[in-house]
Amino acid sequence: MAGDEVAALTMKYDDLRKAVEFVLRSSRTSRARVTIGYDGQELILLRTGSSARVLAVGCWPGTATIYGRGVLEKLDQLRPDAGQVTLRVVGPRLSFGEFVVDCDWNRQTPR
């Protein structure tokens, strides 16, 4: 990881797209809150009432919380590199491809 980057995970674009769509599909608000974590093998997307997992590799020592359905629309516009996408947290922002959204990052300390 470089600079202010605190987390980065790479996964298949199609898997991430399906997981985000599943987690957000029943949201009636544009301020849907989604928490993103990692268990060492899978990215975990959590929203009240739903969750999804995606195989991923990288370093994600905490959780990122994002808001809104805008992520789904941005994923639809993304041109993945060889079918892969990398999520990165840099400062208070989560990026994927050329898109950036605000996030709340909560670093977890090792036990």
Q: What is the mean pLDDT of residues 55-74?
A: 88
Q: What is the four-CA torsion angle of 22, 15, 84, 65, rounded to 10 degrees?
A: 40
Q: How large is the average pLDDT for residues 65-92?
A: 85
Asked if pLDDT for residue 42 goes beyond 60, the answer is: yes
Q: How confident is the model at residue 37 (pLDDT cuts 50, 70, 90)?
A: very high
In this prediction, residue 28 carries a pLDDT of 59
Of residues 28 and 82, more confidently modeled:
82
Rounded Cα gap, residues 85 and 99, in angstroms: 11
Least confident of 1-5, 47-51, 78-82, 104-108: 1-5
CATH superfamily entry for domain 5-107: DNA Polymerase III, subunit A, domain 2 (3.10.150.10)
Indicate the range of 25-29, 37-41, 57-61, 84-88 predicted with least confidence.
Answer: 25-29
53 is written with which tokens?
């997992």
pLDDT at residue 35 is higher than 80: yes
What is the average pLDDT value for the chain, to the nearest integer? Answer: 86
Q: What is the dihedral of CA 57, 75, 13, 44, to 10 degrees?
A: 40
